[in-house]
Chains A and B, each alone.
Chain A
Amino acid sequence: MIFKTIISGVIKEAIAKKIFIGFFILSTLIILGFLAFVGFDSVEGIATMAGDDIKQLVIGFEGFMLGVSYLLLITFCLIGVSSIIPSMLEKGNVDLLLSKPVSRGQIILGKFTGGLLLIFLSLVYLIGAVWLIVSIKFGYWNPTFLMSIIMLTFSFAVIYSLVIFIGITTQSSVLSIIINIFLIFLICPLLANRETVLFQFITNNVVQFIINFFYYVLPKPSDLQTITVKIISGEKIDSWQPVVTSALFLITFLSASIYIFKKKDY
């Protein structure tokens, strides 16, 4: 019951901060826009011309929406959850929370689960609606597209574990956003393409080893995105390594956050 209260507290807080209402409104506009788009005569024509290739057309639309959802997720949800831990740690708030019969580990796990549940529900709304529109419109039902909800939630869980860690150690939501944006849009894509981009300029084995080390240690949003696209289109997944190493990153940072929170005086 206490755990459930912490989770519902996170959801209420996020709704009160209006970031997720923004996400919901924008998602609704995207859904309506998409609905209007697929109703255009030109799209109808493309669908008729596609014939047996309708599957590819549907996967194309879904892949595009996956990219849009990912961008929305990063911008809105990252901002939405980044203040959860710093606001919890404010004087007068954390004291009261810690005086309740709830363990510190439970508090962090509750905040984590609450944030994830919120992201999951937001994605169910956006991706679920797009899936329904595309499927009804083109008559091709691709249930694997719904797997992207799980994959995107997982991608976000990895990022969120870092958000929580930075929140616990620095109590700064701004720093958390900056570091994550830097990682997601610069460092991780560079590391994911290290062989085709970085190693063209860096030939030193030691430096290459260090770059490889960071690739395996850090989360891999770009690789997870690639895997998600492959799942949607029914392609074979070459390696699950990005999922496994990202999961290890998540576990490590979440455990470290709980450990630090348990040891700290407030």
Chain B
Amino acid sequence: MEVISTKNLKKEYKGSGFSKERITALKNFSFTVNEGDIFGLLGPNGAGKTTLVKILLGIVYPTEGDASIFGESIKNEKYKTKIGYLPENHKFPNYLTGEQVLHYFGMLSGLSNAQVKSRSDEYLKIVDMEKWKKTKIKKYSKGMMQRLGIAQAMINEPDLIFLDEPTDGVDPIGRKEIRDILIGLKDKGKTIFLNSHLLSEIELICNKVAILNKGELIKEGTIDEITSTGNKHVFTTSDLSDDVINILLNQYFATLHGKNEFIVNSDSAESLNTVIDILRKNNVNILSLTKEKNTLENMFINLIEQQN
């Protein structure tokens, strides 16, 4: 089931001052997010990521195109009862305690007083903030604020959660805990839309990603699809003899990395097995065989550099 769907979304902003120039933040952006996905949105600063999220949340209006969430147009505010949102650099009223923040935003999400009371303890416990619930948030650290922000985004038990830089300012242990929370939410069937600069984190959590640059969608797919380098297979073996090396170079156009590692471009299981047969026939031990993958970070940097 499609949870988010956009069609030819376009957003133009007015230039500064009296300038008639229009700044295009999004160009004909179409994409979908399915139920249960942890979807990562990547892009350099000014790529249009925040604009896209804000359009989906009804904070910014599109110049052209349309978007729907849970099959309903974003023009209708009803869908907002089923979503949670953690903005980047969120500002909660600093005179409230953690518990009061959840109460205030829970009530604004349309929950009853009793629902908020019963859920706030539960979610504060999930984000490990239970013991700070009576403390005014002006005393909270950045990491504590992020945890509270996540609890706030979950308080109405939404089916779709938008998180903008959720691990910003959080230490590595806290990041791991947040990742675990997000994976737990995915296991419950929730859909998560993640906007983060931390590519390694996106790679660890997300199953689908989209890369935006200058307002355009330049790549979309699963992590495997995006980081895949084609059909390159990396063999790690015992020492290769000169004869075997010659066969690999001349017949299979292999790329050698020393005497124990080579890469073969193989588009079928059959040809891959032929290479294995040759190695085995020549008493070469195969220590490992993996499909070559690029890191998300390398892929992202290459893509953006090509575009620019």
Of A1, A90, A96, which one neighbours B112 at CB under 8 angstroms? A1
* Contact assessment for A5 and B95 in the assembled complex, using a CB-CB cutoff below 8 Å: no
Q: How far is the CA of A99 from the CA of B81 in the complex (A)?
A: 9
Q: Within 8 Å of chain A (Cβ to Cβ): is B58?
A: yes
* Contact assessment for B109 and A100 in the assembled complex, using a CB-CB cutoff below 8 Å: yes
B contact patch SS = loop
Q: Identify the B interface with A (CB < 8 A).
A: 13, 54, 57-61, 77-78, 80-81, 83, 85, 87-93, 95-96, 104-105, 107-110, 112, 152, 162
Q: How far is the CB of A190 from chain B (nearest CB, A)?
A: 34
Q: How far is the CA of A95 from the CA of B92 in the complex (A)?
A: 11
Q: How far is the CB of A259 from chain B (nearest CB, A)?
A: 14
> Which of B13, B60, B108, B109: most chain A Cβ within 10 A?
B108
Known pairs A91-B91, A92-B89; A101 contacts B112 (CB<8 A): no
Q: How far is the CA of A80 from the CA of B89 in the complex (A)?
A: 26
Q: Which residues of B contact A2 (CB under 8 A)?
A: 107-108, 110
Q: Which residues of B contact A102 (CB under 8 A)?
A: 77, 108
Interface residues of A in 74-98 (CB under 8 A from B): 90-98
Question: 20 other contacts beyond A101-B77, A265-B13, with CB at 8 A cut-off?
Answer: A1-B107, A2-B110, A5-B107, A90-B91, A92-B87, A92-B88, A92-B90, A93-B92, A94-B59, A95-B59, A95-B85, A96-B152, A98-B57, A99-B85, A99-B162, A101-B80, A101-B109, A265-B54, A265-B60, A266-B59
Q: How far is the CA of A95 from the CA of B60 in the complex (A)?
A: 9
Q: Within 8 Å of chain B (Cβ to Cβ): is A210?
A: no
* Contact assessment for A100 and B93 in the assembled complex, using a CB-CB cutoff below 8 Å: no
Closest B residue to A5 by CB, please name it: B107
Q: How far is the CB of B168 from chain A (nearest CB, A)?
A: 12
Closest B residue to A1 by CB, please name it: B107
Known pairs A101-B80, A101-B81, A266-B60; A16 contacts B93 (CB<8 A): yes
Q: How far is the CA of A94 from the CA of B83 in the complex (A)?
A: 16
Q: Identify the A interface with B (CB < 8 A).
A: 1-2, 5-6, 9, 12-13, 16, 90-103, 263, 265-266
* Contact assessment for B89 and A12 in the assembled complex, using a CB-CB cutoff below 8 Å: no
Q: How far is the CB of A8 from chain B (nearest CB, A)?
A: 8
Q: How far is the CA of A12 from the CA of B107 in the complex (A)?
A: 15
Q: How far is the CA of A16 from the CA of B162 in the complex (A)?
A: 30
Closest B residue to A95 by CB, please name it: B87
Q: How far is the CB of A97 from chain B (nearest CB, A)?
A: 7
Closest A residue to B13 by CB, please name it: A265
Of B59, B95, B110, which one neighbours A101 at CB under 8 angstroms? B110
Q: How far is the CB of A144 from chain B (nearest CB, A)?
A: 39
Q: How far is the CA of A19 from the CA of B99 in the complex (A)?
A: 24
* Contact assessment for A98 and B91 in the assembled complex, using a CB-CB cutoff below 8 Å: no
Of B54, B81, B108, which one neighbours A5 at CB under 8 angstroms? B108
Q: Which residues of A contact B83 (CB under 8 A)?
A: 99
Q: How far is the CB of B24 from chain A (nearest CB, A)?
A: 14
Of A1, A16, A99, which one neighbours B58 at CB under 8 angstroms? A99
Q: How far is the CA of A9 from the CA of B100 in the complex (A)?
A: 11
* Contact assessment for B91 and A12 in the assembled complex, using a CB-CB cutoff below 8 Å: no
Q: Which residues of B contact A9 (CB under 8 A)?
A: 93, 104
* Contact assessment for B57 and A95 in the assembled complex, using a CB-CB cutoff below 8 Å: yes
Q: How far is the CA of A100 from the CA of B58 in the complex (A)?
A: 9
* Contact assessment for A97 and B91 in the assembled complex, using a CB-CB cutoff below 8 Å: no
Q: How far is the CB of B167 from chain A (nearest CB, A)?
A: 17
Q: How far is the CA of A98 from the CA of B152 in the complex (A)?
A: 14
* Contact assessment for A12 and B59 in the assembled complex, using a CB-CB cutoff below 8 Å: no
Q: Which residues of A contact B54 (CB under 8 A)?
A: 95, 265-266
Q: How far is the CB of A205 from chain B (nearest CB, A)?
A: 37
Q: How far is the CB of B10 from chain A (nearest CB, A)?
A: 14
Q: How far is the CA of A265 from the CA of B13 in the complex (A)?
A: 9
Q: How far is the CB of A1 from chain B (nearest CB, A)?
A: 6
* Contact assessment for A100 and B95 in the assembled complex, using a CB-CB cutoff below 8 Å: no
Q: How far is the CA of A97 from the CA of B83 in the complex (A)?
A: 13
Q: How far is the CB of A50 from chain B (nearest CB, A)?
A: 49
Q: How far is the CA of A262 from the CA of B250 in the complex (A)?
A: 69
Q: How far is the CA of A150 from the CA of B92 in the complex (A)?
A: 34
* Contact assessment for B85 and A12 in the assembled complex, using a CB-CB cutoff below 8 Å: no
Q: Which residues of A contact B92 (CB under 8 A)?
A: 93, 96
Closest A residue to B78 by CB, please name it: A101
* Contact assessment for B95 and A96 in the assembled complex, using a CB-CB cutoff below 8 Å: no
Q: Which residues of B contact A94 (CB under 8 A)?
A: 59
Q: How far is the CB of A171 from chain B (nearest CB, A)?
A: 14
Closest 9 CB pairs of A and B: A16-B95, A92-B91, A101-B80, A5-B107, A99-B85, A265-B60, A100-B108, A93-B91, A95-B87
Q: Which residues of A contact B109 (CB under 8 A)?
A: 100-101
List 9 interface pairs A-B (beta carbons < 8 Å), by A numbering.
Answer: A5-B108, A12-B95, A94-B59, A95-B87, A96-B87, A96-B91, A96-B105, A99-B58, A100-B80
Of A13, A101, A263, which one neighbours B93 at CB under 8 angstroms? A13
Q: How far is the CA of A1 from the CA of B81 in the complex (A)?
A: 14
Q: Which residues of A contact B78 (CB under 8 A)?
A: 101
